[in-house]
Amino acid sequence: RSKVAFSSREQIKDLLVRASELSANLSGASSEQEYKAKAAEIDQLIQQGVNVANTRLRGNFLFSGDTTLQQPFNANFDSNGKVTSVSYSGSADAPQIRIGEGETSILAVAATPQENGDIAGVLNYMIRMLDTMLEFDAEKVIALRTGSNLGGSFAETLPGETTIQLP
């Protein structure tokens, strides 16, 4: 379980890095068409991230806290099918395992409730990046990418930049 959870979190980080790479190359975009193509790829990365965040192992969701049968991440879509936000609807309690009659212990190999919520923050950060790209304003995208202390504990070093805290 811990290997699958770790691998899933790494996949989400990889998706974020790819989205960042796409947005970093905006100054080289030669047309609005190329801009839109990069934005469309980021939208696909976001949807893929939601799917990864809802990973199941043996029928249980990995990132739903102690409500392992409840899908933890829900994507909201606009009328064009674009993800507009991602919310975390799992439990704020860590998953537990029964160890005896009336006794339980926290399952230490699972993600913490804070990490679970941070995954939604990372996906929403990618959505903000996409929305900013669709304004066709490279300066705003750069400002978003290079912001410091954006909150959360899902830290990531983006290529060519200092470490930032992602929501």
pLDDT tens digits, residue range 47-61?
A: 999 999 998 888 888
Query: What whole-number distance in Å separates Cα of residue 5 and Cα of residue 54?
Result: 11
Q: What is the pLDDT of residue 158?
A: 35
Q: Are 32 and 50 in contact (CB under 8 A)?
A: no
Confidence check: pLDDT of 111 > 50: yes
C-beta separation of 6 from 14 below 8 A: no
Which pLDDT value is given to residue 26?
67
Are 52 and 68 spatial neighbours (Cβ–Cβ below 8 Å)?
A: no
Q: What is the pLDDT of residues 124-165, one digit of tens each?
A: 989 988 888 888 777 777 777 766 434 443 444 333 333 334
Two tokens at 159?
Answer: 């290529």
Identify the CA nearest to 90 among candidates 60, 59, 67, 119: 67
What's the rounded Cα separation, in Å, for the pair 108 and 77? Answer: 34
Mean of the pLDDT values across residues 90-111?
63
Q: What pLDDT score does 28 carry?
A: 64
pLDDT of residue 112: 66
Task: Write down the H helix ranges in 57-137.
Answer: 113-133
Contact predicate 73/119, CB 8 Å: yes
